[in-house]
Amino acid sequence: MYKILFFLFLVFMHLQSNAESLKLRSPLSDTVKLREVMVVSNIPLDDKDILNFYRTNQFSTLDNINARLGGLSLIKRGAYALEPQMNGFSGGQLNVTIDGMKMFGACTDKMDPVTSYIEPTNLKMIKLKSGTNGSENGCNIGGSMDMTLQEPTLNTKQSNFASIAFGYESVSQSRNILFSTGLGNKKWAWMADGVYRKTENYRAGNEQIIPFTQFEKTNVHSALKFSPDKINSFKADILYDMANNVGYPALPMDVSLAKASLFALEFQRKAKIQLKAKLYFNQIIHVMDDSKRDSLYLLKVKPVGKSDSVYMRMDMPGKSSTLGAYFQMRIPWNENNHLTIKVDNYSNYSIAEMTMHMRYAGFAPEPPMYMQTWPAMLRNVAGIYVENSTYLSPKLVLTANARMDYNVDNLQSEYGQQQFSIFNYTLEKVQGKLIKSINFVAQYDFTNDLTLTTTLGHSERMPTIGERLGFYLFNAYDGYDYIGNPYMKTEKSNFVKMDFQFTNPVIKINISPSISFLNDYIMGITDFNIQAMNFYANGIRVYTNVPSAKLFSTDLQLLYTPVQNISAFWLSKFTYGEINHTEVMPLIPPLKNIIAIQYQKDELQVQAECETALAQNRINSNYGESKTPAFTVFNIKGAYGFTLSKVSMNFSAGITNLFNKAYYEHLDWGRIYRPGRSLELYLKMSY
Amino acid sequence: MKTNILNITIALLISVMFFSCKDDVETTKVNSLEGLIKLEEGYAIGAAAKVEVWGKKNFFMGYNNLTVVLLDSINPTDTLKDAHIYFQPLMTMPQTTGMPMKHACPVENPNEMAMNGVFPGAVAFVMPSMGGAWNLGIYVHNHKNDKSATVNFEVTVDNPPTTVMSVFTSQSPDSAKLVLSLLQPQAPKVGMNDIEFTIHRKASMMEWPADSTYTIEITPEMPSMGHGSPNNVNPVHVGNGHYKGKVNFTMTGEWKINVAVKKDGTTVSKNVYFNITF
Ligand SMILES: [Cu+2]
């Protein structure tokens, strides 16, 4: 239910900020704002107007928020750690950063997207850019998602605060505690926020309890800011996130530990020329666990001299550490031109191992079998980004940006080198590559109400470590073992996007179609010459550059306010993908709509929301897809705020999946039913 | 992260040091007996030579790399570098009735001229000592004094924990008895490994010549998981009954290498395999 509220505000703010941009025509105005409004979906979670509103919805997960964002869909493998997909792009095709800081999951099976280590309560803002234009923090083709962390505020009314909130969801007996606190004076400010969540297996709409959907997590973030004067400031951030006992019903194993820690130091100077410098380190440790699964497998073919049933356990730890820094300058070099220059460098070290322990019923254990599914690799990327905005006339703004990244992959593991000799590769220890991105954006105001923004871009991206050096990675979706290609070419995209925005006090509409023409698209192609490793795998797929692919995507966002207390919202997302002009691109969601109506009077809010998706019949069965039926789900929620002797209280209650519908979405792996009807209660006290 | 960068730096420094020392290593005399143990020693009295037999471990059923060291029996600090050496292994198997059965096994005699002061050769023992008694005779023709003699060692041939030799009767019309030995990999690793076999044919009880007329096909398999490995290269004859190819292991664990020995395209072996666990 809070989802709706949130969504409403996202749309609202989005359109609102667009409206504002119309007023910000003066070339002397803040470049940041102008630039962002032009090409970014900006979601200011802590805007003063929605502060209270947002806080009442703090206990929604980041996944819930992402599900409501234009262009975003979620790939679901369990109740936790959903993987964002933007306009059909996911994984290594997206730039997911935290304040521009790079961070990479440590799971070979994509169980830990970076978003799973961040909680909404840690965040101030999420910035989305689509297509090739999302390359501010690294060359990429699918878009970017930059999450800005909450920061302490100096010497304002909001500097000193404390709040605690409790939430409960009946469907999974989910218990949530959130806290947030801050202190500040003229020069120093400090804040901390955190979450503890514990959920049990949830119940689906058909009353069935879905096993392995439990999880437990703790998240703490703290920041300290020092500002010697009005212009300069220093900030330090620490973020720690730990999830335990996370179930993944769609995968053959769970996660016993997923742990992230992040440290960052920042310097900012807000003069006419704005400077920002950042130094950071983060580390992710990911330990998979199949000890709770039924580890007895019955074999189709009985091995000679063994039994036909085998107990199998796999130890699969992964680790990813990133050390990086960037320096950024924004220069208004004349009245009509604003320039941004950013230089950055990061090094990521990743390794993932697998040791299999097998024991045939009635036999002594087999010797342990070890391999490096991601052989230890150090990837260093040094980049430079330049962007210039020119205000040609009061109606027309042109922006051009370009980025170059020099990528060096240094294979640290001799073991990995040896592993790949199997496929007749003589692996170079060090591989360097220069990759580029360039984009042009034109924003034109036809009238005060109507704005058209056009983006043209070209970009490429490096293959991920899994796509380059992955070694027998089991994909539970299509049932194949995946192998990397050490000499994979970069994936390239030519991108066109149109943004139509119509804004007046009663109705606000945003339609944003985009198309990406992809070359050397990276996907797994079946290799019949190589045998699968897992006895439950269907075969082997080798990551390969296929000549061409296409992704078309469009969003419709509409906000209608016929009378003062009532608003209606409508969001539609549609994506269409094909490979080599003939084949259906797998894992593309069908048309999805979210429609919500909100009534607000004083401290009372009531909302109703309807979520629908069409059936997805356009599928690629070679890649494990099957058709997904359409569904409609209703949610309702109410919230009421009051003050009790200086403590402001906010109480909300809602019912999600009102009619207890048993359904799943097309991107849900394993076709596992989503939660059924759930009562949600939430109480927040703040001082 | 920092430690990794540090590690690379250290590795680079070490490799630089290593390469700069390499010349010195090559000028000093290679110790041909490094990693070997002395298995036997005795005197070939008539040839005035002390005979030492060195190997990696005690004699076993399979292809044994044996290094012979010849010393002047009068002046034992003087190594002999020019001699003919013949291995003359002999197995005596007592029979329940009649005369004991005697047979030899395949050998590879060392070259006349010593290599780095020693005489490397090989003996492929075709059975362990359990069924009878092995005698390893070493005939020495000392070119220094042009005298010859034989020294005899009563040796124990172990049955190795993992089989590295298969002695079988060919499924061909001539019913030849073949000795297939696995020489490599000796230190198996994940990735591509050299694999080497020898094939010897029993011509008579005493003659076991190398045979180059067969072809070998290998199929590695991980029996516990039921999968194999890709891109293996079947061994081809490289001379003197030796066949060399490549075998790939995708992970550690227990591997089984199925071997098909073929003559003129027809498989003549039956269910021959070797286990390799690492
Ligand atoms: Cu994982």
Domain range annotation of chain B: 37-155, 165-277
Domain B165-277: CATH superfamily is Immunoglobulins (2.60.40.10)
Beta-sheet pairing, A161-169 with A174-184: antiparallel
Shortest CA distance from A471: residue in chain B: B250
Instruction: Dig out the tokens for B104 from the structure.
Output: 């030899």
Chain-chain contact of A531 with B228 (C-beta, under 8 angstroms): yes
Backbone angles phi, psi at B143, to 5 degrees: -70, -15
**Has residue A211 got a pLDDT over 60?**
yes
How many residues are given for chain A? 687
State yes or no: ipTM above 0.85: no
Instruction: Report the percent of chain B where pLDDT is more than 90.
Output: 64
Q: Do B250 and A304 touch (CB under 8 A)?
A: no
Mean pLDDT on A378-397: 94
Q: Does B231 touch chain A (CB under 8 A)?
A: yes
| Contact across the interface for A347 and B1, Cβ inside 8 Å | yes
Whether A440 has a pLDDT exceeding 90, the answer reads yes
B275: three-class secondary structure by DSSP: strand
3-state SS record for A560-618: EEEECCEEEEEEEEEEEEEECCCEECCCCCCCEEEEEEEEEECCEEEEEEEEEECCECC
Locate the domains of chain A by residue range.
Answer: 2-686
Query: Exposed (0-12), middle (13-18) or buried (19+): which is A355, by Cβ within 10 Å?
Result: middle
Same fold? B37-155, B165-277: yes
Which residue has better confidence, A69 or B29? A69
**Structure token pair of residue A33:** 């704002």
Is the confidence at residue B27, as pLDDT, over 50? no
pLDDT at A507 over 50: yes
Q: What's A422's DSSP letter?
A: T
CB atoms A531 and B4 under 8 Å: no
User: Do the chains contact at B230 and A299, CB–CB below 8 Å?
Assistant: no
Sign of CA dihedral B208, B211, B215, B219: positive
B275 touches chain A (CB under 8 A): no
Which fold, A2-686? Answer: Maltoporin; Chain A (2.40.170)
CB contact under 8 A, B251 and A371: yes
Coil, strand or helix: which one is A212?
A: coil
Q: Secondary structure of B104-159 in the HEC alphabet?
A: CCCEECCCCECECCEEEEEEEECCCHHHCEEEEEEEEEECCCCEEEEEEEEECCEC
Residue A193 CA to residue A163 CA, distance in Å, equals: 9
Q: Look at residues A108, A124, A113 and name the one whose alpha carbon lies nearest to residue A13.
A: A124
Residue B272 to chain A, least CA–CA distance (Å): 14
Q: Is B96 on the interface with A (CB under 8 A)?
A: no
3-state secondary structure A342-362: EEEEEEEEEEEEEEEEEEECC
At A78 the pLDDT is 87
Q: Alpha carbon of A533 to those of A78, B119, B193: distances in Å?
A: 25, 45, 19
Q: Give A89 Cα–ligand 1 centroid separation in angstroms.
A: 20
Going from the C-alpha of B195 to that of each of A157, A248, A334, B156, the distances in angstroms are 77, 43, 71, 27
CA distance B125 to B103: 11
User: Are the beta carbons of A323 and B1 separated by less than 8 Å?
Assistant: yes
pLDDT over 80 (residue A7): no
Size of interface A-B (CB pairs under 8 A): 98
Q: Establish how many alpha carbons lie within 13 A of residue A439's alpha carbon, considering only the half-sphere containing its beta carbon.
A: 34
The pLDDT value recorded for residue B4 is: 52
Mean pLDDT, chain A, rounded, equals: 86
How far are the Cα atoms of A6, A194, A653 from residue A650, in angstroms, in the given order?
Answer: 16, 19, 10
Write A597-600 long-range contacts (CB < 8 A, 24+). A597/A566, A597/A567, A597/A568, A597/A569, A598/A4, A598/A5, A598/A8, A598/A566, A598/A567, A598/A568, A598/A569, A599/A565, A599/A566, A600/A565, A600/A567
A98 forms beta bridges with A101, A147
Q: Give strand pairing partners of A613.
A: A592, A631
Q: How far is the CA of A365 from the centre of ligand 1 (A)?
A: 25
Side by side, which strands form the sheet with B177-184? B165-169, B177-184, B191-201, B242-249, B233-239
Q: Do A301 and B8 touch (CB under 8 A)?
A: no
Q: How far is CA B125 from the centre of its chain?
A: 10
Gap between the Cα atoms of A358 and A612, Å rounded: 45
- Using the mean position of ligand 1's atoms as its centre, give its distance from the Cα of residue A288 in Å: 5
Q: Do B225 and A358 touch (CB under 8 A)?
A: yes
Question: Does the beta-carbon distance from B5 to A299 stay under 8 Å?
Answer: no
For the stretch A449-494, pLDDT in tens is 899 999 999 999 999 999 999 999 999 999 999 999 999 999 999 9
Q: How far apart are the C-alpha atoms of A607 and A600, rounded to whole Å?
A: 9
A158 contacts A679 by C-beta, under 8 angstroms: no
Identify the band that residue B30 occupies on the pLDDT scale cut at 50, 70 and 90: low
Mean pLDDT of A103-128: 89
A613, pLDDT greater than 50: yes
Chain B residues within 8 A of A360 when measuring between CB atoms: 224
Mean pLDDT of A59-65: 70
Chain segment A535-580, per-residue pLDDT in tens? 778 999 999 999 999 999 998 888 888 888 888 888 899 999 999 9
pLDDT of residue B24: 39
Distance CA A388, CA A329 (A): 12
Kindly state whether A362 is in contact with chain B, defined as any CB-CB distance less than 8 angstroms.
no
Q: Which residue has the higher pLDDT, A440 or B226?
A: A440
**Which pLDDT tens digit goes with each residue over B217-261?**
999 998 888 788 989 999 999 999 999 999 999 999 999 999 999
What is the distance between the alpha carbons of residues A208 and B86, in angstroms, rounded to a whole number? 80
For B160: left if phi > 0, alpha if psi spans -120 to 50, otherwise beta; the answer is beta
3-state secondary structure string across A46-64: CCHHHHHHHHHCCCCCHHH
DSSP letter at B230 equals S
Residues of chain B in contact with residue A349, where contact means CB-CB under 8 angstroms, are: 1, 4
Q: How far is the CA of A538 from the centre of ligand 1 (A)?
A: 20
Question: What residues of B are in contact with residue A531 (Cβ under 8 Å)?
Answer: 227-230
Please give the structure tokens belonging to residue A645.
Answer: 């002797």
Per-residue confidence (pLDDT) for residue A53, from 0 to 100: 32
A26 touches chain B (CB under 8 A): no
Work out the mean pLDDT of chain B and round it to a whole number: 86
Q: Which has the higher per-residue pLDDT, A54 or A497?
A: A497
Residue B19 clears pLDDT 50, i.e. is over it: no
Confidence category of residue A646, pLDDT binned at 50, 70, 90: confident
Contact B221, B255 (CB under 8 A): yes
Q: How far is the CA of B2 from the centre of ligand 1 (A)?
A: 25
Closest residue in A to B190 (Cα–Cα): A419
Q: Which of A321, A366, A421 sits opposite B191 (nearest CB)?
A: A421
- Is the previous residue joined to B185 through a cis bond, with omega within 30 degrees of 0? yes
- Nearest C-alpha of chain B: how many angstroms from A418? 4
Residue A597 has pLDDT above 90, yes or no: no
3-class secondary-structure state, position A286: strand
pLDDT computed for residue B173 by the predictor: 84
Selected residues 136-195 of chain B with any CB under 8 Å from a CB in chain A: 189-192
Over range A654-664, report the average pLDDT: 94
pLDDT: which is higher, A670 or A31? A670
pLDDT of residue B73: 83
What pLDDT score does A334 carry? Answer: 87
Mark yes or no for CB contact B231/A415 under 8 Å.
no
- The topology under which CATH files domain B37-155 is Immunoglobulin-like (2.60.40)
Distances in Å between the alpha carbon of B173 and those of B208, B264, B267?
19, 12, 12
Residue B100 has pLDDT above 50, yes or no: yes
**What is the mean pLDDT of the segment spanning B129-134?**
88
- Which two three-digit tokens encode residue A572? 């539609």
State the pLDDT at residue A158. Answer: 66
Could you tell me what percent of chain A has a pLDDT over 90? Answer: 61
